[in-house]
C-alpha cells in the first residue's frame, strides 16, 4: 500500500514538473545546505542521547533560509535527531508554498517515518497532510500550527500570545505608559496573515496597548491599527521597510515616530533602513521591537539600533519537538503543557509551549551570552 502510494506520488510529481516546465519547485531530492555557518549560528551541542531513532527517518520541512532563525532551527533539529540515531531529511521551501508541498510529497514518497513541518502557509498543506496520514506518517507542527487538518499529532512552539504581551509590556514599561503625561506616536508591523502565530501575537500585544491607544497616550498617525491593516504577508522585510517609508513620508513630516511596534526581527531591520533613509539619528531614534533574537538583531540591540527582541531559544524548541518525534514513533508520552489553546479548526492540538523572554541592552549578556546562545565575540563584531 505504502509502495503503491509512493509510486503514484512520484509519477504525479514527475507529471507536475513537466506540466510547469520543470523549473518552479527546487528539485525536492536536492537537500539544500541546512548547516548554519559555524561562526554565525552554532548548532546546539547535542546532548548525549539514548538511541531511540534506530535508523528511522524524520522528514523536516522548514519555511525559509532567508531568516537566520530557521537555519538555526533546522541545524538544531538535525543534530539532536542524529544524536539519537535518526536519519534526517531537511528541506527549506524558501517561502514558496508550492515548493514546500512538493518537498513534503517527496518525503512521503521516500517513506519517511515522521514529518516535522514549519509551514510557509499554515492552511495550504491540507492535501499533502492527508496523503501523509493515508500513508501512516504522523506529523508534528513546528513553531507554526498546521491549520484545517486532522493529521497533526503534536505542536511545539512558544506561547505566541505571550510573545505579543511581552512586546506590549516592554513598550508600556519603557515609556511608562501607565503614568506618563506625554503622548507617543506608534506604528505597527504585524506578521503574516497565513501564520496562526501572527494573529495570536497581535492579540497579546493589543491586550496591553489598546487601552493606551484609546486613552490617547499612544497615537497611531497612519490610523493602521487592526490586524488586517498591519499584517505583512510572508513576514517580508522588504514590505515592512516600504510600509515604514510610506508612514514616515505620509504622516511624520512634522513629528517624529517614537515607536515601531514590530513582530519580527526582519521587520525591525526594514524599519531601521526606512528610518535611516528618512534621516533619523540617535537623537530621535525610535523604540524598535522585534522577535527571534537573531544574531543581527542581537548585534543591533548591542549597538542601539534595535531596542529589544523576543528570545526564542531554538535549541529548546528543537528539544521539545524531538521528544514528540520519539513519542509518535515509540509510543511514549511527550511533555505537553497546553491542551486547550491551539484549535486548528478541526482539532485542538496537544502542545508544548516554551516561554518567550524579552532581551534588550540590560540583559542580553546574561541571557544570550550567559545562556550560550551567542558568544561575546559574535555580538561584538
Phi and psi, residue 378, nearest 5°: -60, -40
Q: For residue 285, is it left (φ>0), alpha (ψ between -120 and 50) or beta?
A: beta
Separation CA 332–CA 86 (nearest Å): 16
d(CA 290, CA 281): 19
Nearer to ligand GAL, 144 or 165 (CB): 144
In the range 307-336, which residues lie near ligand GAL by CB under 6 A?
Answer: 312
Minimum distance, C-beta of residue 254 to ligand GAL, in the bound complex (Å): 34
Q: Do 315 and 374 contact (CB within 8 A), yes or no?
A: no
Q: Which of 307, 364, 371, 265 is nearest to 42 (CA)?
A: 371
Beta strands in the chain (DSSP E): 57-62, 87-92, 114-117, 139-142, 152-158, 184-189, 218-219, 259-262, 287-288, 309-311, 351-354, 357-359
- Shortest Å, Cβ 270 to ligand GAL: 13
CB atoms within 10 A of CB 265: 29
Taking the least distance from each CB to ligand GAL, the nearer of 84 and 312 is 312
Nearest distance in Å: CB 109, ligand GAL: 27
Task: Name the nearest CA neighbour of 337 among 358, 354, 357.
Answer: 354
Among 159, 187, 194, 195, binds ligand GAL (CB under 6 A): 195
Q: Should residue 344 be labelled a site residue for ligand GAL when binding is judged by CB under 6 A? A: no
Binding mask 119-158 for ligand GAL (x = CB under 6 A): ------------------------xx--------------
Per CB under 6 A, the segment of 94-102, 189-197, 248-256, 331-339 that binds ligand GAL is: 189-197
Contact pattern for ligand GAL over residues 71 through 110, marking x by CB under 6 A: ----------------------------------------
Q: Using CB under 6 A, which of 96, 121, 292, 313 touches ligand GAL?
A: 292
Residues that bind ligand GAL (CB under 6 A): 67, 69, 143-144, 191, 195, 197, 235, 264, 291-292, 312
Amino acid at each position: 500500500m505504502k509502495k503503491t502510494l509512493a509510486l503514484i506520488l512520484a509519477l504525479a510529481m514527475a507529471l507536475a514538473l513537466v506540466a510547469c516546465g520543470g523549473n518552479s519547485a527546487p528539485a525536492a531530492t536536492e537537500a539544500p545546505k541546512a548547516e548554519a555557518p559555524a561562526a554565525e549560528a552554532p548548532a546546539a551541542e547535542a546532548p548525549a542521547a539514548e538511541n531511540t531513532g534506530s535508523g528511522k527517518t524524520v522528514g523536516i520541512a522548514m519555511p525559509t533560509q532567508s531568516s537566520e532563525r530557521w537555519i538555526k532551527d533546522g541545524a538544531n533539529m538535525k543534530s539532536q535527531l542524529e544524536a539519537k540515531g535518526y536519519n534526517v531529511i531537511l528541506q527549506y521551501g524558501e517561502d514558496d508554498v508550492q515548493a514546500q508541498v512538493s518537498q513534503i510529497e517527496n518525503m512521503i514518497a521516500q517513506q519517511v517515518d515522521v514529518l516535522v513541518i514549519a509551514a510557509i502557509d499554515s492552511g495550504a498543506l491540507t492535501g499533502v497532510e492527508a496523503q501523509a496520514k493515508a500513508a501512516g506518517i504522523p506529523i508534528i507542527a513546528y513553531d507554526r500550527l498546521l491549520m484545517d487538518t486532522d493529521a497533526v499529532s503534536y505542536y511545539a512552539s512558544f506561547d505566541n500570545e505571550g510573545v505579543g504581551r511581552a512586546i506590549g509590556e516592554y513598550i508600556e514599561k519603557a515609556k511608562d505608559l501607565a503614568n506618563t503625561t506625554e503622548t507617543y506616536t506608534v506604528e505597527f508591523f504585524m506578521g503574516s496573515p497565513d501564520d496562526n502565530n501572527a494573529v495570536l501575537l497581535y492579540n497579546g500585544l493589543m491586550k496591553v496597548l489598546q487601552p493606551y491607544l484609546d486613552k490617547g497616550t499612544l497615537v497611531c498617525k497612519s490610523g493602521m491599527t487592526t490586524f488586517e491593516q498591519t499584517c505583512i504577508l510572508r513576514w517580508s522585510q522588504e514590505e515592512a521597510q516600504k510600509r515604514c517609508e510610506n508612514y514616515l513620508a505620509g504622516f511624520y513630516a512634522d513629528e517624529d515616530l517614537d515607536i515601531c511596534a514590530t513582530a519580527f526581527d526582519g521587520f525591525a531591520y526594514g524599519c531601521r533602513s526606512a528610518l535611516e533613509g528618512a534621516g533619523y539619528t540617535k537623537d530621535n531614534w525610535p523604540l524598535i521591537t522585534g522577535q527571534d533574537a537573531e544574531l543581527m538583531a542581537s548585534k543591533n540591540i548591542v549597538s542601539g539600533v534595535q531596542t529589544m527582541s523576543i528570545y526564542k531559544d531554538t535549541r529548546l524548541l528543537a528539544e521539545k519537538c524531538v521528544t514528540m518525534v520519539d513519542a509518535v514513533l515509540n509510543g511514549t508520552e511527550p511533555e505537553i503543557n497546553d491542551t486547550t489553546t491551539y484549535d486548528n479548526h478541526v482539532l485542538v492540538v496537544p502542545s508544548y509551549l516554551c516561554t518567550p523572554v524579552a532581551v534588550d541592552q540590560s540583559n542580553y549578556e546574561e541571557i544570550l551570552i550567559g545562556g550560550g546562545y551567542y558568544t561575546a565575540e559574535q555580538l561584538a563584531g
